[in-house]
Amino acid sequence: MRWRWYLETAWAANPVACETLDFYLALWDSDTPGSPWAQVASTDSALTATQRANLWYIGSATAETAGTGIMSAGGIIENIGARYISPVLHNASAAKALAAVGTTPTILRLTPLLDEIQ
């Protein structure tokens, strides 16, 4: 099954142009998080650079300019080969936090694209 992904965010202060919010997936087949891609928790937690290297990179929202405007990205995931996933977002900005309140929350949307016979 294919999935459409959409990621939208804004930084709380001006990031450097080309800094990113990266989107990864951690996959596993049982209901206990024990991903072969990286040992990740099923709750909000920090990951090491080593763990992140073992995740499946999907895409990034990139700061096109040094501003606090909304940045977005999207695409298609052709196949998620596991029963369970944990989406992972990594703020690659060296010192800028994401704007997590108000009118610019970070949004990650995964929409299934079902095959149609017509």
List residues bridging with 11 in a β-sheet.
Answer: 98
The model's confidence at residue 33, banded by pLDDT at 50, 70 and 90, is: low
Strands (E) across 10-103 are located at 20-28, 56-62, 71-77, 84-91
- Is residue 1 within 8 Å of 58, Cβ to Cβ? no
Which pLDDT score is estimated for 47?
Answer: 79
Region 73-83: mean pLDDT is 90
Lowest mean pLDDT among 11-15, 40-44, 63-67, 113-117: 40-44
The whole-angstrom separation of Cα 112 and Cα 62 is 24
Q: Residue 11 carries which side chain, given as an amino acid letter? A: W
pTM for the full predicted model: 0.82
Partners of 3 in beta bridges: 77, 112
